[in-house]
């Protein structure tokens, strides 16, 4: 078993988190539209502050790092490549995205077509972010040292 390339893992998680954040901004503000944003902040129960945005950004960055780590962690068993990245993405989608989507549905934020667009968008978003993180990550067993 090889040691973890922490620099590449951090870089992959950082890039994945930034992809997820950028994609979430595009989805929420441009695709789902103003009604979604208004419903979200109405259900929040208070006026959003800078800390609200910091919290959202942090959660999405955490998901990016978790996706990169999971992709790296399952490589020894499943091999390096897109299939392994997509498997990790599917696990992250099932454990994070579906739970967050269900919460937004339960609070009547994601309704109608917005629910289905959000679910499909999430599949593509986490798939792309995890594949990029998997591509960035290199370990010594692949012959790439730094």
* Cα distance between residue 9 and residue 38, in whole Å: 37
| Residues 74-133: tens digit of each pLDDT | 999 999 899 999 999 999 999 999 999 999 999 999 999 999 999 999 999 999 999 999
Task: Give the three-class secondary structure for 79.
Answer: coil
| Residues 68-85: tens digit of each pLDDT | 999 999 999 999 899 999
Domain boundaries, the chain: 6-142
pTM of the model: 0.89
| Residues 31-80: tens digit of each pLDDT | 999 999 889 888 888 788 899 889 999 999 999 999 999 999 999 999 98
């Amino acid at each position: 078993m090889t040691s973890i390339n922490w620099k590449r893992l951090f870089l992959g998680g950082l890039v994945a988190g930034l992809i997820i954040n950028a994609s979430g901004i595009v989805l929420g503000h441009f695709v789902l539209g103003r009604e979604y944003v208004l419903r979200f902040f109405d259900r929040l129960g208070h006026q959003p502050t800078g800390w609200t945005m910091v919290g959202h950004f942090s959660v999405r960055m955490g998901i990016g790092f978790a996706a990169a780590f999971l992709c790296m962690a399952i490589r020894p068993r499943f091999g390096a490549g897109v299939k392994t990245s997509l498997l990790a993405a599917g696990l992250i989608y099932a454990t994070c995205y579906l739970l967050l989507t269900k919460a937004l549905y339960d609070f009547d934020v994601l309704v109608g077509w917005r629910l289905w667009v959000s679910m499909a968008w999430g599949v593509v978003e986490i798939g792309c972010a995890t594949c990029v993180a998997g591509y960035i990550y290199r370990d010594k067993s692949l012959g790439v040292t730094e």
